[in-house]
Amino acid sequence: MAPRTIAPFGPQHPVLPEPIQLKITYENEKVVDVVPALGYGHRGIEKACELNEYPKNIHLCERICGICSCMHGISYCEVVERLWPMEVPPRAKYLRTIWSEMSRTHSHLLWLGLLADALGFESMFMQFWRIREKVLDLLEMTCGSRVTQSVSVVGGVRRDIDDEQKKICIRTLQEVRQEAEALINVLATDPTVKARTVGKGVLTKEQAILLGNNGPHLRASGVKEDCRMLGMQAYGELGFEPVVETDGDCYARALVRARETLQAIDLQLEAFSKMPEGEIYVRPKGSPPANEAVYRCEQARGEVFYYAKGNGTRKLERLRVRTPTFANIPSLLVMLPGSELADVPIIVLSIDPCISCTER
C-alpha cells in the first residue's frame, strides 16, 4: 500500500478567497478521503437579527453574502411580509425580479471567470469579469450601489426604474448577452477546458437527491428543481423553465451556469417589457404579528431558506437562514474521493461555494 499523506487545502484562499479548509488524504496523487472544516467566518448575524428592529435587519441580512446581497435582502423582506401576510404591489414584484436576475447574471459571470482562472485560462477570466462590470454598473445606476444594493424594504422597493434607465438597461443587457454568448461558446468548445472538466467530480442524480443538494449543482445532475418554478415574485408571469444538464460533472455544472446567465438576461428583458405601471411600496400596518413564516428563494448558488417568527413587537423572535452552500458541501465527500489531486480546486469550485453565507 502506498503511503498516505494528509494535506490541508485552505483555509487561506482555496481556489476562491473564502475560508474553508479541506483536510485531504491522498495516496499517489489520488484523493482517498476528505474532511471539510468550517467555522472561520461566523459572525452571529442570526442572533443580531433578534436584537434589531425588523426594518434594520434588511441591511444586516444583505451582509450575509456579498454576491447575493440583493436576494438576501429581498428574501428577508418577503419572509417578514408573510408574517402579516401582506401583498406587495405588482410593479415592486417585477423590480425585485429584475434586480434578482441582475444579481444572478453578475454572480454567474463571476463564477465563470473564477472557473477560467482555476483552469489557468487567464484571458477568459478577464473577459468574463469585464462583462460583469457592465452588469454591476447597471446595478449601481438603478439601485445606487454596486454590491449592497439595499433596494428592498418590507412592503415593496425603495427605488423605481424610470424610462431612461430602462432604455439603458435594455441596451446594455443586449450587449452583455451578445458578448457573454461569444465567450460561453469558447468555454463550451475549448479542448483545454473540456480536458480539465469533462468527467471530473461526477455526481449522479440519485446521489444529488440523497445528499439534498440544490441549485445549479443539482440541476447539472439532471434534477429539474428550481425555486423560481414556485412562481414567487414575478416569475409566475415570465414563463420560466429551469436549465437542466444530465452529466453531473464539472463541465455540466459550468454549462448550467453559462446557460442560466443567458436565461437570466432574457428574463430581465422579458420583465422589462411586461412591467406594469403603478405603486412600488405599501406601508406595513404596525409591527409583525405573532406568527411564523417561511420563504424559499432561488439564489445564484441555489435555494436559500428563510424562517421568521414574530411576537407582535418591532423585533423578531427568531430568524433562521439556510444557505445553498450548506446543502452542497456534503457532495464534496462523494465527488472528491477517487479524483486526482490537481482536480480538487476545480471540483471544489464547481459547487460555487460561498462560505461566509454558510456560516453567517
With contacts defined by CB under 8 A, how many residues of the chain interact with other proteins?
27
Say how many C-beta atoms besides its own lie within 10 A of residue 181's C-beta.
Answer: 13
Q: Among the candidate windows 15-23, 48-56, 103-111, 334-342, which touches other proteins by CB under 8 A?
A: 48-56
* Phi–psi pair at 55, nearest 5 degrees: -70, -25
Does position 141 interact with other proteins (CB under 8 A)? The reply is yes
Dihedral in degrees, nearest 10, Cα atoms 260, 263, 264, 266: 170
Does position 204 interact with other proteins (CB under 8 A)? The reply is no
Answer for which of 39, 44, 120, 144 binds other proteins (CB under 8 A) is 144
Measured from the CB atom, the residue of 124 and 329 that comes closer to other proteins is 124
Answer for which of 7, 182, 210, 230 binds other proteins (CB under 8 A) is 182
Shortest distance, position 253 Cβ to other proteins, whole Å: 21
Shortest distance, position 285 Cβ to other proteins, whole Å: 18
Q: Rounded CA gap, 158 and 283, in Å?
A: 12
Residue 178 identity: Q
Residue 189 identity: T
Answer for which of 33, 190, 237, 266 binds other proteins (CB under 8 A) is 190
Shortest distance, position 205 Cβ to other proteins, whole Å: 31
Dihedral in degrees, nearest 10, Cα atoms 103, 106, 107, 112: 160
Does position 59 interact with other proteins (CB under 8 A)? The reply is yes
Shortest distance, position 66 Cβ to other proteins, whole Å: 13
The C-alpha cell of 197 is what?
472538466
Shortest distance, position 49 Cβ to other proteins, whole Å: 11
Q: Rounded CA gap, 109 and 39, in Å?
A: 28
Residue 318: helix, strand or coil by DSSP?
strand
Measured from the CB atom, the residue of 23 and 158 that comes closer to other proteins is 158
Measuring CA to CA, how many Å separate 262 from each of 71, 101, 152? 19, 10, 24
Q: Among the candidate windows 19-27, 36-44, 138-146, 210-218, which touches other proteins by CB under 8 A?
A: 138-146
Measuring CA to CA, how many Å separate 321 from each of 266, 277, 312, 359? 29, 33, 21, 10
Question: Which residues are near other proteins by CB under 8 A?
Answer: 52, 55-56, 58-60, 123-124, 127, 130, 133, 137, 140-142, 144-145, 148, 150, 158-159, 182-183, 185-186, 189-190
